[in-house]
Amino acid sequence: MKVHEYQGKEILAQHGVAVQRGVVAETVAEAVAAAEQMAAEGVTLFVVKAQIHAGGRGKGGGVKLAKSIDEVRQKAEAILGMQLVTPQTGPEGQLVRKVLITAAEDIAHEYYVGVTLDRARGQNVLMASTEGGVEIEEVAAATPEKIVKVWVDPAIGLRPFQAVEVASRLGFEGAAFKQAVKFVRALYAAYEQSDATIAEINPLVLTDDGNVIALDAKVNLDDNALFRHPDLAEMRDEHEEDPLEVEAGKHSLNYIKLDGNVGCMVNGAGLAMGTMDLIKLAGGEPANFLDVGGTANAQTVEAGFRIILSDPNVEAILVNIFGGIVRCDRVARGVVEAANNVEINVPLIVRLQGTNAEEGMEILRNSGVELESAIQLQEAADKVTAALGQ
C-alpha cells in the first residue's frame, strides 16, 4: 500500500526521524490557515506540495515555493484540483485533492537515502547518495558507483557501525554527522517496525544552519502485514488507487489491470502468470491479472466477470481454473450464474481441470451459456486468439 508524503513523514516522525514540518490541507482556506499558523511561529518561506501517490511532482509543477501567505493562496489554488502529470503518473496525470504546506528549508546540499528489501540477497539494503534531488534516477542509471549500499541482515537488524558508515560515506562532519547517524538509525527502525517495503527520502537535506532533515518521504507498506498496523491501514487513500482494483479488493480478488484485450480469470497466482504467458505466446495481450483464490464461489466468479467486463478494452475472456481445493463444478455453477446476471458480450473460453472437471464441463454444456470449452491450455489460448480474429 502506498501512502502520501505527509503520511510517510508522520510514520517516520513517530520513529524519531527528523522531518520538515508541515500541515496537510484539502482546501485553499485550510492551506492559508496552515500558512498563517506557521507565519505566527516565525516561518517566512513556504512550499506548497501536491499530495498524490506518485513521485516526480517537482518536475510536473506540483511543488512550488511561496514567499508570502498570498503566494500560498495562489499556489494552493493552482495545485488543488489540477491533473498533475509527472514522469511517474500516466499521461492523463492524477487529480490533486490535498496539498502539504511546509516551512521551506534553506538547502546547503541534497542527499538521497532509502531502505528496501534486496530480494536477491534476502536482506534489507540501505542505499544512500550525495547526489540527491530530482535527478536521482539518472544518477542510479548513469553512475551507479555514486550510490552507497549497505546490506542489513533482517535477523540482526541495523548495527550502529553501519549507520556510521553511511553517514561518513556521505561526507557528513561534526554535529551534522551525529544527526545523520541518528537519522539513518531512525529511518531503518521506521522501515522495520512499520513493515514497510520501501522507505525512501529524496531529498534528505543538510540545511544552511547545519541540520539534517527529510524534505520528502516515500513509504510503501506491505499489504500482508497491515493487519498488524490498524493505524497505518487507515492511511489508505482509495482515490489514488485503480477503482477496479479497489472493487476487486472488496471481494478478496487479486486483480491488477493491464493494457491488453484478453480478460483472464484464474485461480492461483502461478497459474495466472502461466495463463498470461500463454495468451501472449498465442498472440494476444492479457487485459488483467485476476486470481480468484482457492475459495472461488458463484459470488466471487460473478464479481470477477463484472470487474473484467468494466474494462472497455476486453475483447475476449479466458477462464482457466484448476480444481484443487475449489471444485470445478462449483466454478461452473458460478460461471453459469454470472452469465445469467451479467451480460457477457464478448467470446468466453473456459478451461476446467482437476477435481470434478467432468461434472463442471457437463454443467457448462447444459447451461445454454454461449462459450467455448478447452481441455489443454494451448487449445484454450488458441481459441482465444481465434475469437479475437487473429
Residue 188: active-site member: no
C-alpha cell at 228: 498488524
CB nearer ligand GDP, residue 104 or residue 117: 104
- By CB under 6 A, tell whether 215 contacts ligand GDP: yes
Residue in 10, 216, 291, 302 binding ligand GDP, rule: CB under 6 A: 216
Residue in 3, 34, 53, 55 binding ligand GDP, rule: CB under 6 A: 55
- By CB under 5 A, tell whether 216 contacts Mn ion: yes
Residue 104 binds: one of ligand GDP, Mn ion, none (C-beta under 5 to 8 A by kind) = ligand GDP
Phi and psi angles of residue 200, each rounded to the nearest 5 degrees, phi first: -130, 130
Q: Compute the least distance from the CB of residue 58 to Mn ion, in Å.
A: 7
Nearest CA among 339, 345, 355 for reference residue 304: 339
Contact 9, 102 (CB under 8 A): no
Q: Compute the least distance from the CB of residue 79 to ligand GDP, in Å.
A: 12
Of residues 318-377, those binding Mn ion (CB under 5 A) = none
- By CB under 6 A, tell whether 134 contacts ligand GDP: yes
Residue 56 binds: one of Mn ion, ligand GDP, none (C-beta under 5 to 8 A by kind) = ligand GDP
CB nearer ligand GDP, residue 6 or residue 255: 6
Contact 2, 53 (CB under 8 A): yes
What are the beta bridge partners of residue 254?
A: 291
Residue 61 binds: one of Mn ion, ligand GDP, none (C-beta under 5 to 8 A by kind) = none
- By CB under 6 A, tell whether 338 contacts ligand GDP: no
What are the beta bridge partners of residue 205?
A: 110, 213
CB nearer ligand GDP, residue 106 or residue 343: 106
CB nearer Mn ion, residue 132 or residue 284: 132
* Catalytic-role residue among 10, 200, 315, 372: 200
CB nearer Mn ion, residue 94 or residue 288: 94
Of residues 113-152, those binding Mn ion (CB under 5 A) = none
Amino acid (1-letter code) at residue 204: L
Stretch that binds ligand GDP, among 54-62, 91-99, 273-281, 361-369 (CB under 6 A): 54-62
Contact 278, 224 (CB under 8 A): no
CB nearer ligand GDP, residue 105 or residue 302: 105
CB nearer ligand GDP, residue 198 or residue 342: 198
Residue 148 binds: one of Mn ion, ligand GDP, none (C-beta under 5 to 8 A by kind) = none
* Catalytic-role residue among 6, 111, 112, 188: 112
- By CB under 6 A, tell whether 203 contacts ligand GDP: yes
CA–CA dist 269, 308 (Å, integer): 17
**How many residues bind to Mn ion according to rule CB under 5 A?**
2
Residue in 58, 61, 93, 249 binding ligand GDP, rule: CB under 6 A: 58
Residue 133 binds: one of Mn ion, ligand GDP, none (C-beta under 5 to 8 A by kind) = ligand GDP
Contact 263, 318 (CB under 8 A): yes
Residue 191: active-site member: no
Of residues 28-47, those binding ligand GDP (CB under 6 A) = 47
Q: Output the residue with the shortest Cβ distance to ligand GDP.
A: 58
Catalytic residues: 112, 200
Interaction site with ligand GDP (CB under 6 A): 47, 49, 55-58, 63, 102, 104-105, 107, 110, 133-134, 202-203, 215-216
